[in-house]
Homo-oligomer: A and B are copies of this chain.
Amino acid sequence: MSIEEHLESKANILRLHSIRATTRAGSGHPTSCLSCAEIVATLFFKEMNIDPKNIDYIDNDEFVLSKGHAAPILYAALAEIGVIPKEKIPTLREFSSELEGHPVPRVKGIRVATGSLGQGLSIGLGMAYAKKLRDIGRRVYVLLGDGEIAEGSVWEAINLAGRLRLSNLTAILDMNRLGQSGPTILQWDSNAYASRVKAFDWDVFICNGHNIGELVEAFGGAKRSNKPSFIIAKTVKGKGVKFLENVEGMHGRALNEDQLQEALEQVGPKVRKEDFHPTNFIKASIQAGGKTADFSIDTDYELGEMVATRVAYGKALVKLGELNKNIVVLDGDVQNSTYTIYFFEEFPNRSLQCYISEQNMLGAAVGLQTQGFDVFLSTFACFLTRAFDQIRMASYSRADLKIAGSHAGVSIGEDGPSQMGLEDLAMFRSLINSRVLYPCDAVSSEKLTCLMANTDGVSYIRTTRPKTPVIYGNDEEFHVGGSKILRSSESDEVAILAAGVTVHEALEAHAILKQEEINVRVIDCYSVKPLDELTLRDAYEEIGHVVTVEDHYVEGGLGEAVASLGIAPHILAVRTMPHSGKPEELLAEQGIDASGIVRKVKEILG
């Protein structure tokens, strides 16, 4: 039979798997699978250059299912090319199965988690950019739903990919007209989509998404294009099963047994006996690499020297960039505030200006790290909230990301609350398996940045805008889960736990109290997650009174982290509406400066 007949047959095999598996699971999105069966079949059985035996190698073409709810058809395709056993398919959505309701990298052949819509194209952008950096002549295909294209993050990716002229990136729009609650804005208006995407410097191809010939032609055009390419595939939701085709209200509904039987009778006969195998299989050989040996860097500061931790972060990035050629740094147009500018100037080829689009920056970083790069990304701490959903999904992608947020807390001063990171500790602590680091001086900032470079998972470093004095010697060592006891005596009456800018306030408070013959212990909790549980418990049990002080809201910050250990701290934090002013005025207003700490200590000791 012809290649078209072969692929049509394959498409219907994928349909059978999808409707059977979702009915067996009792939930899922069969109609969303049916609309893209020909697209997925054409990609997996003809267009994509992949090595099923070495699917994890990076010299394969990549496929990202941005419309993650169509997971069953992706699992079916992976099974049909032999990446996962076909017997697995019926375990869809079961507790013990890695074939989850939406894709996660637990499944061989899947590199990222999708299911929160509108994130796949950014990830694909990162993958495509990475393959160009590595000079790997493979392509990245991203399958988009027409509902998710309303997400601004998709347009952030379209904008940057057009700018970067990523000719190895192809997006396919499964234009099936129906969202979850009703029709999409543009329904089947291919030309409206085309003019929008073309305006962002992409090549656009329009085709019937159920016609193999037209799909093959569109993919051919995409391969010949010197720009990123966008294929608008007109499809029918529920295609192949008459009572589901283009019917509203059937999104996310599995078929019951009777409906399944009827559906199988309609789809089954369209499956032909296979007479030949896919012709696109290749031999892949390049492993991702990256994740190389531990690095260490030397610092050269004078005690008491005034340096902002954000500046030290920038200096450390350059040192790490020398040692590790896999490091790529992203920034959102604030390089001169986060100080990634040092890296950008030293290593322009491993620096990516993402402009003011934090969601796409996060997604691109996730894509880049799938290709073996060690990715650092930076912006103001407060603007990382813009990408919380992407950060959350990165943790489910088991991504290794090194994120730096600058301008933390009210200590930024005059710019006001819109620029103050006051919820970033809460946000990053809430991620599963995250690490949260918070340096108070230049030495610890450089050492913690280096530590982050050697740490898996999503790690976050919080830097400060104003200069702070260097308090650590250049030979000081730091580790994840550590802390530093900066002041202590045999007769400490209160333990003060601080981090970042408040460490210096705590040291000043210690000096003031000492003159009044009140001894306090001062501990730098530079590792906010995980905390140095042992040291903090010892202090609590020995001293009894603990005060935490942080330039962050109470909720989800250092104080609550300490409290969750069973220690009952007095929490000094930002509690009233922040506003503009001098840093020292704002720290004082919130009672998180030296005199606020002194007041609290005296109140405790009554």
Contacts and interface: CB of A to CB of B under 8 A. Distances in A.
Interface of A: 25-28, 68, 93-97, 100-102, 104, 106, 113-118, 147-148, 150-156, 159-160, 163, 179-182, 184-185, 192, 195-196, 198-200, 249, 331, 333-337, 341, 353, 355-357, 359-360, 382-383, 385-386, 388-389, 392-393, 396, 413-419, 422-423, 426-427, 429-433, 529, 553-556, 559-561, 563-564, 566-568, 571, 574, 576-582, 585-586, 589
A415 B101 contact: yes
Given A152-B153, A427-B388, A563-B560, A341 B571 contact: no
B418 A68 contact: yes
Copies in the complex: 2
A93 B589 CA distance: 16
Contact of A353 (B163, B181, B353): B181
A196 B200 contact: yes
B147 A159 contact: no
Contacts of A413: 27
Contacts of A353: 181-182
Contacts of A432: 553, 574, 576-578
A94 B585 CA distance: 10
Nearest to A29: B415
Given A102-B415, A392-B423, A568-B566, A429 B152 contact: no
A413 B419 CA distance: 38
Contacts of A581: 93-96
Contacts of A249: 336
Given A163-B185, A386-B389, A432-B553, A93 B414 contact: yes
Nearest to A117: B356
A359 B152 contact: yes
A101 B419 contact: yes
A556 to B, nearest CB: 3
Nearest to A392: B385
Contacts of A163: 185
B430 A423 contact: yes
A190 to B, nearest CB: 13
Nearest to A354: B150
B147 A355 contact: yes
Given A113-B417, A159-B185, A182-B333, 6 more contacts: A93-B580, A101-B580, A114-B418, A115-B419, A150-B357, A385-B392
10 contacts: A95-B582, A116-B418, A152-B156, A152-B359, A181-B331, A388-B427, A427-B427, A429-B556, A430-B555, A555-B560
Contacts of A357: 150-152
Contacts of A192: 199
A522 B455 CA distance: 41
A95 to B, nearest CB: 3
Contacts of A564: 554-555, 559-560, 563, 571
A585 B95 contact: yes
Given A426-B555, A556-B560, A564-B571, A418 B155 contact: no
A386 to B, nearest CB: 4
Contacts of A553: 430-432
Given A389-B382, A416-B102, A336 B180 contact: yes
A211 to B, nearest CB: 26
Nearest to A548: B564
A418 B199 contact: no
A95 B415 contact: no
Contacts of A577: 396, 432-433
Contacts of A382: 116, 389, 392
Contacts of A181: 331, 333-336, 341, 353
Given A568-B566, A581-B95, A430 B419 contact: no
A124 to B, nearest CB: 16
A147 B101 contact: no
Contacts of A115: 415-416, 418-419
Contact of A113 (B27, B97, B418, B563): B418
Nearest to A563: B563
Nearest to A356: B150
A417 B556 contact: no
> Among the interface residues A196, A581, A586, which one has the most CB atoms of the partner chain B within 10 A?
A196
Contacts of A431: 423, 553
A417 B396 contact: yes
B418 A383 contact: no
Contact of A356 (B147, B556, B563, B589): B147
Contact of A156 (B94, B150, B386, B586): B150
A277 to B, nearest CB: 32
Q: Could you say which of A28, A106, A382 has the most chain B C-beta atoms within 10 Å of its C-beta?
A: A382
Contacts of A152: 151-156, 357, 359-360
A299 B155 CA distance: 44
Contact of A151 (B26, B356, B385): B356
Contact of A179 (B333, B359, B386, B574): B333
A427 B97 CA distance: 31
A590 to B, nearest CB: 11
A224 B192 CA distance: 24
A581 to B, nearest CB: 3
A113 B388 CA distance: 20
B356 A148 contact: yes
Contacts of A433: 577
A562 to B, nearest CB: 9
